[in-house]
Amino acid sequence: MAEITMKNIVKRYGDGYPAVNDVSLDIKDGEFMILVGPSGCGKSTLLRMIVGLEDITSGELRIGGKVVNRVAPRERNLSMVFQNYALYPHLTVFENIAFPLRLAKTPDDEVRRRVNETAELLELTDHLERKPANLSGGQRQRVAMGRAIVREANAFLFDEPLSNLDAKLRGQMRTEISRLQRRLGVTTVYVTHDQTEAMTLGDRVAVLRKGVLQQVGSPRELYEQPSNLFVAGFIGSPSMNFLPATVDGTVLDTPLGRFDVGDRRKVEAVGDRSLVLVGIRPEHFEDASLVGDERRERGSVLRVHVDVTEWLGNELYAYIPYEAPADVAAQLRELSQELDSDQMRTQAVVALDASSLISPGDEAELWIDTSRIHLFDPATGENLTRDEERVAALGRLADKEREAQRRVQRGTPSESGGTAASGAESDGAEAAAG
């Protein structure tokens, strides 16, 4: 087991384009790190440099404290699972899992012991004598995982290992990978562009854009305190809405109407900018008729014209088109393309309670939780309202959660008495109230 440290890592392919550009990232021993970003942002390239399948153009890569830039892949002792994992069709499940041990000329009885242990962990014990062709997709994926974890590797590296599976199986495998990683406690780097995997699997998530690292933090931090427009738009589904606005005291004038943000600190961050982008997540709107007086006072109410609605059972999406200045509209369109989003950017999406009776064509009153909005610099994309104190609190919460999760997986009770899981819940409540 080992920590992985990257310092100013650059990868230029033949044509000189930096596929990975000056990435510095510290992955702690035992940590589960997720790499996300749109297609082509350099995720696989970074992973392949860590394993040693790709040369590092410049910068320094350390594994377990040792510089490994020039160390051969074999000697790095890392285990990798690809999207297109290949099992050997003529070998049994047992021999497929045993393969890396056979390569390393491991004695027979040790092979047997290790393969049996691994199979136990992955619930493959009953299938050890079968051939891959006779297995389900999920079982095959587990065999590929078994082959990766049977070796005592310093770290596991996964490149979109679940993307060939159907949605249900993906959900199951996701939970299994998470449980397994926590139990084994092996440093893991996991590449995905699946929102749910990114948010649920890792201790921390690193967001890449065109080879450049944008932000590294716990899922909660990325969602709640994104450092820029790109991260704000990339994390969360449906994406955060960005409305152009001018600022007048604590009042924002947006294409959906004027509303008071209440918080002077937020507007002070705007300085003398004449235009900002207001970021509001769909779930921070509500049908105003469903909001009690007390909550209503903690936000603002807007009258809008609803175009289309979608009732999903657990919530209701409403779409609200608006006019934006041409240059802002062009910028939002560009961002939307880069985020691989098919959302039209001059249309707000709001997620309301499923009991809402708002219908297409309605003039509706929407409540906004103004405490949750962010203001962005339209020129640089910087989040002007990121709350550093809150970021620090979320970091502490993430550390506690990580400990609690590992205790649960290893079946050890928490020090404070009670179960580890209830400990994590109360910490969550504390941070949520902060």
Ligand X SMILES: Nc1ncnc2c1ncn2[C@@H]1O[C@H](COP(=O)(O)OP(=O)(O)OP(=O)(O)O)[C@@H](O)[C@H]1O
Give the footprint of ligand X on this chain (CB under 6 A). 13-14, 19, 37, 39-45, 193
Give 44 or 331: the residue with its C-beta nearer to Mg ion. Answer: 44
Which residue, 44 or 178, is less far from Mg ion as judged by CB? 44
Q: Which amino acid is at 204?
A: R
Query: CB 44 → Mg ion: shortest distance, Å?
Result: 3
Between CA 241 and CA 258 the distance in angstroms is 16
Cα 224 from chain centroid (whole Å): 12
CB closer to ligand X, 234 vs 367: 234
Choose from Mg ion, ligand X, none: what does 193 bind? Cβ within 5-8 Å by kind: ligand X
Partner in contact with 42, chosen from ligand X, Mg ion, none, beta carbon below 5 to 8 Å by kind? ligand X
Nearer to ligand X, 44 or 309 (CB): 44
Count the neighbouring beta carbons within 10 Å of the beta carbon of residue 284. 19
CA 250 to each of CA 261, 263, 265, 272: distance values in angstroms, whole numbers, following the listed order: 6, 7, 9, 14
On the CB side of 87, CA atoms within 13 Å amount to 28
Nearer to ligand X, 192 or 241 (CB): 192
Rounded to a whole number of angstroms, the minimum distance from the CB of residue 51 to ligand X is 13
The reply to whether 385 sits near Mg ion by the rule CB under 5 A is: no
CB of 283 to Mg ion, least distance (A): 30
- In angstroms, give the least distance from the CB of 192 to Mg ion: 10
What is the footprint of Mg ion within residues 316-345 (CB under 5 A)? none
Q: How far is the CB of 53 from ligand X (least distance, A)?
A: 11
Q: Say if CB 204 and CB 428 are below 8 A apart.
A: no
Confirm if 415 and 422 have CB atoms less than 8 A apart.
Answer: no
Q: Does 228 bind Mg ion (CB under 5 A)?
A: no
Q: Are 289 and 273 in contact (CB under 8 A)?
A: no
One-letter amino acid for residue 96 of the chain? N
DSSP 8-state code for residue 153: -
Q: Which residue is nearest to Mg ion (CB)?
A: 44
What character string, x for contact with Mg ion (CB under 5 A) and - otherwise, covers 29-58?
A: ---------------x--------------
Place of tokens 């027979």: 108
CB 358 to Mg ion: min, Å: 41
Residues in contact with Mg ion, counted by CB under 5 A, come to a total of: 1
**Least distance between Mg ion and beta carbon 84 (Å):** 11
- CA 388/CA 219 separation, integer angstroms: 16
Give me the half-sphere count of Cα atoms (radius 13 Å) on the Cβ side of residue 125: 7
Contact of residue 19 among Mg ion, ligand X, none (CB under 5-8 Å per partner type)? ligand X
SS3 348: strand
- 8 phi, psi to nearest 5 deg: 50, 45
Q: Please, which residue, 111 or 235, has the CB nearer to ligand X?
A: 235
Per-residue HEC secondary structure of 73-87 comes to: HHHHCEEEECCCCCC
When CB distances are held under 5 to 8 angstroms depending on the partner's kind, the choice from Mg ion, ligand X, none that residue 88 binds is none
The entry of Mg ion, ligand X, none near residue 336 (CB within 5 to 8 angstroms by kind) is none
Tally Cβ neighbours within 10 Å of residue 87: 19
Residues lying near Mg ion in the complex (CB under 5 A) are found at 44
